[in-house]
A and B are shown apart, each in its own frame.
Chain A
Amino acid sequence: MKVVVIGNGMVGYKCCEKLIARSASSPLELVVFGEEPRPAYDRVHLTSWFDGKTANDLLLAPLSWYTDNGIRLHLGDPVMQIDRTHKTVTSYKGITEPYDYLVIATGSAAFVPPVPGMDKKGVFIYRTIEDLEMMKAYAPQASCGAVIGGGLLGLEAAKALLDLGISNTHVIEFSPRLMPRQIDEQGAAILQHKLHQLGLKILTGKNTREVMGNEAVTGLQFADDTILPADIVVVSAGIKPRDELAKACGLATGPRGGIIVNEQLQTSDPFIYAVGECALHNNMIYGLVAPGYEMAEVAISHMCSDHKAFTGFDMSTKLKLIGVDVASFGDPFPAPDTCHSIVFEDKYKGTYKRINITPDGQFLLGGILIGDAAAYNLLLQTARNKMVLPANPEELLLGSRGTADNGAGVTALPDEAMICSCENVSKGTICQAVTDGHETLDDVKKCTKAGTCCGGCTPMVKDLITATMKAQGKYIRNVVCEHFAYSRQEMLDLIKLKSLRSFDEVLDHYGSGEGCEVCKPVVASILASLWNDMILDKGNDTAQDSNDRYLANIQKGGTYSVVPRIPGGEITPEKLIVIGEIATKYNLYTKITGGQRIDLFGAHLSDLPDIWEELIAAGFESGHAYGKALRTVKSCVGSTWCRFGLHDSVSFAIQIEERYRGLRAPHKIKSAVSGCIRECAEAQSKDFGIIATEKGWNLYVCGNGGSKPQHAQLLAADLDSDTCIRYIDRFLMFYIKTADPLTRTATWLNKLDGGMDYLRNVVVNDSLGIAEQLEAAMQLLVDNYKCEWREVVENPELRKRFSHFVNAPADKDPTVKFETMRAQKKAAEWK
């Protein structure tokens, strides 16, 4: 196959690259003609030529690349004629080359408005490196500049003039605002203000009538008879497709220019393709590089009998204009009746942000960012991938309150999400590259080409590298410990997937070594949260943290404390007497806890089963004070006695405590129920708290006492008891499923991307579609509940484990010493 490419600009070069990539499978002869004297360079970053980059730095590939790949490149030699009948082209220097397929990638020229005087000295266009060189040579004799055109390129040209030292520069725009195609009036006003601050003068609504001066330009005269003195003028009023060759050989062209192409980029002659800024697709000329690259891909793949189609391209763009971020994506200004817009404007900082969302608030259509375009990539992806918006879409602009995490945004994207639209690189490809060991930005760029063109996606590529490595436990070591290269959440999913029931099984499947004091309790807790088996069974006893292993809290001196469950803090006098009798019999120190229970201290290890045998006989059960588990549901006395009480808070507290007793979680869980707004149970300081209202219950979550107190936040209001319990089921299981080890609900919420609104969406609106699953998971635990102390008391093998000496079970630890204080005992002070 012999292919001739006319034009060696960015898109023409991309065609070569695509052809070479496919040449392995079939032999290829490739000839390229370029008009400019140097091989293809990065026109997008043309202004960086003024920052000290040389023409060579801007090259997309050195000359040797063409030679190495067997490409015959003719530079400074434009094609003058196409002979479609004989399928040949002839160049300016007289070279005639036959072709099987011809690709026209002639690009565009600057559009110069038909105004008298455009041929005067000092008037330049802004298109090629040669243009820049001529401007640079002329600039020293100039002092006031004018740029005709206030679009993207015009503002770039103005930057070029500033860089050349012409600080007195005006931008002249015909329409009433800057960048009329990309941004709206309000945004343009902010941009104009910002550019003005930076020393650039802007004139809008000005129609240039004449370029004044004799030989050299001296000024511009406008249609309103005003005059602007200027001794250097740059014309950047738009582009004009280079379609003259195509016209001359009879290919179909548009009435206002451009070579007409179909979805495969074929012109009216099926052996001739047109790509880039010279191609007219569906009445559109695409003046950006990303769609040009996409065209190159489609045309070359069609030539090689692949079936791809070019169906249009969105003109989203982000750039820094003279230090000001400007971005426009998706549909920047749809008709008002087809969308709602959310607008944020900060005149002080000079930022303007607008997003357009569908009337149902579900999807992002497009938007504009001026002054701060940090959110551009994420917004663009959100719009492109039709991702469902959060309940409060304004957070897309303002960020969710209280969190500073923007990494979660990338992880939410689907694998197909196009991250680098210039090079057509998907999220999946980038993540795969990272997984394959390319763990630096440079490596990923080299291997995927992502971020090598406009560079706009670089922050996102970085986020993806971080997120992928994080997922492998490499970067931020969120993994459990050296024995398990997974986060707690991943461990939970894996253990559930394989229905593993013991620490040993989990270590066999997913770990290495022997485990340690970090991973053992994590796994033990996950197992308990998933299955609610007896925690001392299946060899899991030695995987429990010491307190869980002996179902009691170790205290100073090595004795233990015993906390029977007293649901809601309600207890009969008979039961109080039993506790008193047992405490007397075993010589235990007694104290009322903060959670409305009674703690019995100073029990020898070997006495624990006997103490519990008596407690259980009197109708008590374990209070799980030793576990990362539900502790207590505190209550006020409620409507049965209190003259203010709205509902029976004690009954509800007992119902809740009995439902969740024994529930193990990443950390301890406390709760409370108050019977009225006076909040005597202090429910708003609990992991979940319930307060009676006239109409039902208000449910608050993620409160915390402790060293860093935090008020619980309202999750849902005026609930009936059943709904309240359903929401608690979902809330607790979601917490258990996703929290890191030893993270209380308050900290968990603070780290949760999207915060309370997200949590409410999951729990109340079921935005993840997992509510039923969470409720079922909780019900399984509720159904499997057994008092673990009863099981120990009734099992002689388990009882045996509660002795201090393995070889002298009847002996107590002789080193245990007590002292006396206020008529009770206390542990001897340690040294």
Chain B
Amino acid sequence: MSTTHTTTGTWFFACKTTDVPTNGGVCVKYNDEQIALFFFARRNEWYATQNLCPHRRQMALSRGMTGTVQDEPKVACPFHKKTFSLKDGRCLSDEHECSLTTYPVKIVDDRVYINVAEIPVMAEV
């Protein structure tokens, strides 16, 4: 869905669409960064965020369960079930928690690209 983003940064090839489980996530390596990539098959939407959960600084978000709250896409960290919006990265279950960095995603044929224009900033705890 994020193909409509108008971005100026670099699109890098992450993986094939078939590499990502339906309604689930994977972790993508980009240089020294880890990016969590999520596929919402029922609405054909893709999202990408930092893989690091800011709560306990664990590289785990790509293994979290995805879902919605009032139609807003979210992911729950497998460690302590903090949930984060995939639209803007804010923490939905704890307003004092840091937000996630999000990245635009675009699909070309069966290939998934992530835009890393903004230098990803690790959220400070």
A residues adjacent to B (C-beta < 8 A): 482-483, 504, 507, 513-517, 519-521, 539, 541-543, 545-547, 549-550, 554, 557-558, 801, 804-808, 811, 813-816, 830-831
Contacts and interface: CB of A to CB of B under 8 A. Distances in A.
B60 A806 contact: no
Given A542-B22, A806-B26, 19 more contacts: A483-B67, A504-B42, A514-B66, A514-B73, A515-B68, A516-B69, A516-B74, A517-B64, A520-B67, A521-B65, A539-B21, A805-B28, A805-B29, A806-B15, A806-B27, A807-B14, A813-B59, A814-B32, A831-B125
A798 to B, nearest CB: 11
Contacts of A815: 34, 59
Interface string B13-30: 011000111111011110
Given A542-B21, A542-B23, A513 B68 contact: yes
A519 B56 CA distance: 25
B83 interface: yes
B90 interface: no
Nearest to A550: B63
A482 B24 contact: no
Contacts of B76: 516-517
A554 B79 contact: yes
Interface string B24-54: 1011110010100100101100000000000
B74 A804 contact: no
A545 B65 contact: yes
Interface string B78-95: 110101000000000000
Interface in B66-122: 66-71, 73-74, 76, 78-79, 81, 83
Contacts of A804: 27
Interface centre among B15, B69, B125 (most CB of A within 10 A): B69
Interface residues of B, number: 40
B56 to A, nearest CB: 5
A546 B59 contact: no
B65 to A, nearest CB: 4
A411 to B, nearest CB: 31
Contact of A514 (B14, B15, B34, B43): B43
Contacts of A813: 34, 59
A554 B78 contact: yes
B57 A830 contact: yes
B14 A517 contact: no
A517 B68 CA distance: 9
A815 B52 CA distance: 10
B15 A807 contact: yes
A805 B63 contact: no
A545 B81 CA distance: 10
B58 interface: yes
Interface centre among B15, B20, B76 (most CB of A within 10 A): B76
A514 B67 contact: yes
Nearest to A805: B29
21 contacts: A482-B69, A482-B70, A483-B67, A483-B68, A514-B42, A515-B68, A517-B64, A517-B81, A541-B24, A546-B65, A547-B78, A550-B63, A554-B63, A554-B78, A558-B59, A805-B27, A805-B28, A805-B29, A807-B14, A815-B34, A830-B57
Contacts, number: 102
A808 B81 CA distance: 27
- The 5 closest A-B CB pairs, nearest first, are A516-B67, A542-B24, A546-B78, A517-B76, A806-B26
Contacts of B70: 482
B29 A807 contact: yes
Nearest to B79: A554
B28 A514 contact: no
Contacts of A807: 14-15, 19, 28-29
A514 B71 CA distance: 8
Contacts of A546: 60, 63-65, 78
A214 to B, nearest CB: 85
Contacts of A539: 21-23
Contacts of B57: 830-831
Contacts of A483: 67-68
Contacts of B34: 805, 813, 815
Contacts of A816: 59
Contacts of A507: 42
A209 B4 CA distance: 103
A589 B73 CA distance: 38
A806 B22 contact: no
Given A541-B24, A806-B37, A811 B29 contact: yes
Contact of A808 (B29, B59, B65): B29
A516 B65 contact: yes
A558 B73 contact: no
A542 B19 contact: no
B124 to A, nearest CB: 11
A808 B34 CA distance: 11
Given A516-B67, A549-B63, A805-B27, A541 B83 contact: no
Contact of B23 (A514, A517, A554): A514
B21 A515 contact: no
Contacts of B74: 516
Contacts of B71: 513
A624 B42 CA distance: 30
A807 B20 CA distance: 11
Contacts of B73: 514
A444 to B, nearest CB: 32
B58 A830 contact: yes
Contacts of A814: 32
A563 B76 CA distance: 25
A806 B28 contact: yes
Nearest to A547: B78
Contacts of B37: 806
Nearest to B74: A516
Given A542-B23, A542-B24, A806-B28, A831 B79 contact: no
A513 B37 CA distance: 20
A806 B23 contact: no
A514 B68 contact: yes
Contacts of A557: 58
A770 B37 CA distance: 47
Nearest to B81: A517
B120 to A, nearest CB: 14
Nearest to A508: B42
A805 B42 CA distance: 24
A221 B15 CA distance: 107
B66 to A, nearest CB: 7
A558 B64 CA distance: 12
A737 to B, nearest CB: 25
Nearest to B42: A514
Contacts of B68: 483, 513-516
Nearest to B20: A806
Contacts of B58: 557-558, 830
Given A539-B22, A541-B21, A542-B24, A517 B59 contact: no
Contacts of A520: 65, 67
A507 B40 CA distance: 14
Contacts of A513: 67-68, 71
Contacts of A517: 64-65, 67, 76, 81, 83
Contacts of B14: 806-807
B14 to A, nearest CB: 6
B46 to A, nearest CB: 13
Given A542-B65, A805-B29, A514 B59 contact: no
A816 B15 CA distance: 23
B43 to A, nearest CB: 7
Nearest to A519: B67
Contacts of B43: 514
Contacts of A545: 65, 78
A817 B91 CA distance: 26
A814 B51 CA distance: 13
Contacts of B42: 504, 507, 514
Nearest to B56: A830
A807 B16 CA distance: 9
Contacts of A542: 21-24, 65-66
